[in-house]
Amino acid sequence: MFEITPYTPDQKSRWNDFVRRSKNSTFLHNRDYMDYHADRFDDASLLVWQKGRLAALLPFNREADGRVVSHGGLTYGGLLLDDRATAENVCEMFAQINKSLKSMGMVGVIYKPVPQIYHLMPAEEDLYAIFNCCNARLVRREISSTIAQQMPIRFAESRQSGLRKARNREISIQQSTNYAAFWDILSKNLADRYNTVPVHSLAEICRLAEAFPANIKLYMAYQNEMPLGGTVVYETPQIVHTQYISASPVGKQLGALDLLFHRLVREVYKDVPYFDFGTSTIDGGSGLNSSLIFQKEGFGGRGICYDTYEWDL
């Protein structure tokens, strides 16, 4: 019933057209986003056809151990479907996908589905299929803090205190293109606290922001002309996701992020269904970053899980 073919660069337009009409995709699945780090990931993406019609996409990259990951370079990958997908069809898709992967010499699959809050309509046929047809096992669960804007929760007193402090210091909130200033703050914080660097380089995030100006935006807090901190947000139809959050030592003292997120949550994005602060886990999801999730929950975020599954071929 279904034919599986490998993705090739000449199919980029067809791939992106499907992403735009899929019920569970975001701009992260657009090839212009996926391919910014193509040199770091061996692409093994698949297209699923039904009687000549493109029925689904599966972003994959190939690992050296013989497994494929959906997707190693993205927060989530998953089988991308349109509104014609049915549970029975998706089970058959995975049966054919597994056969195709085995014929390619693959030995297993690591699968990161698109979290439900990103879906434009119900789209969890893949979760049923991988459990019942692929014997998938849950191998990693991370928790994100998300605000449902139709039922907002009052900011905690710790965040209210910071908000009052910031309002008394004449801090302004602006949409900005000064990624260099924010990256300086972010990089120093990550190096000092975690001995690490941002997932994206400054050049990469600037290139992506230029390619997706409607989806990737930077908001900054300033006192006069001095940058105090900010956040890079990823906008999709259902959700605004904070990809990066950081403040300078002065910004932390003045409650800059409290004012920033009050403005974004209560004003700028009040009509978007969900505002997601991202995950707060360590050690592959097995540990909780208590101070980080305390801050996010203080803004009214509550738990949504980002899961990873695995199965053998």
Whole-angstrom distance, CA of residue 149 vs CA of residue 151: 5
The answer to whether residues 124 and 132 touch, using CB atoms and an 8 Å cutoff, is: no
User: Which pLDDT belongs to residue 136?
Assistant: 98
What length does the chain have? Answer: 313
Domains of the chain: 2-135 (3.40.630.30), 146-306 (3.40.630.30)
- Look at the pTM and tell me if it is higher than 0.85: yes
Whole-angstrom distance, CA of residue 173 vs CA of residue 268: 11
Q: What share of the chain is helix, strand, coil (3-state, %, to 5)?
A: 40, 30, 30
d(CA 188, CA 180): 12
pLDDT, residue 249, reads 95
Instruction: Give residue-wise pLDDT tens across range 245-304.
Output: 999 999 999 999 999 999 999 999 999 999 999 999 887 777 888 989 999 999 999 999
Listed residue (25, 13, 145) closest to 74, CA to CA: 25
Residues of the chain with pLDDT under 70: none
Q: What pLDDT, on a 0 to 100 scale, did the predictor assign at position 309?
A: 98
Give 161's contacts (C-beta < 8 A, 6+ positions apart): 255, 258
Both tokens of residue 313? 């071929």
Longest alpha-carbon distance in the chain: 65
Question: What are the φ/ψ torsions at residue 286 (nearest 5 degrees)?
Answer: -80, -15
| Spatial separation of the C-alpha atoms in residues 125 and 81, rounded to whole Å | 9
Question: How far is it, in rounded angstroms, from Cα 286 to Cα 140?
Answer: 8
Q: What pLDDT, on a 0 to 100 scale, did the predictor assign at position 63?
A: 96
pLDDT, residue 104, reads 95
- Structure tokens, 100: 């195709």
